[in-house]
Amino acid sequence: MTDRLDRLPEVADLVGRVPDADLRDCAHLLAITVLSIVDIDEQVRGVLTDALADARRRGTVAVDLRLAVGDVRNRCEHQAFAASRRADGHARDRAFRAARTAHCITFVIGAEGAADRTIRDNLREAVYEAAVATRGTAAVVGVLSRHAA
């Protein structure tokens, strides 16, 4: 599969080495790691944390939580755009990183993409978003290394 994660070959290789049985746990740990690193608004954090907890507890996420995550993601994207237009670099960066975090969690909970997308595909997308949100691959490599065979 060729996708944007291929721009980070060391990370793409690690994703490929995560055993199928560990994909969900790896994705969940990745999401928690990103949430702990990225400085985001507490309300946004609450929605994302609730969605992760629901996914962990039930194996799926309730429709209202999926919609709330999408709303948070879109709001963060809009805030980043608006801050960019105002030339407010700090606000733009904070909102952009929050949006990337929300995108990461969207993929972790399986609320994005085509119906035929696999868990590994979602992990690949979540990993890319996590690397962007955390401004590098160090945290992502740390999580993937714990699960890679």
In the chain, how many domains are there? 1
**Average confidence score pLDDT of the chain:** 91
Beta strands in 43-141 (DSSP E): none
Average pLDDT over residues 40-55: 94
Amino acid at 54: D
Total-model pTM:
0.90
CA distance 149 to 113: 27
Average pLDDT for 3-31 = 90
Tokens at 62, concatenated? 């309730």
**What's the pLDDT tens digit per position in 83-92?**
999 999 999 9
CA distances to 47, 58, 107, 109 from 17, rounded to whole Å, are 31, 26, 19, 21
Identify the domain containing residue 112 by its residue range: 4-147
Indicate the length of the chain as a whole number. Answer: 149
Instruction: Please give the pLDDT value at position 6.
Output: 82
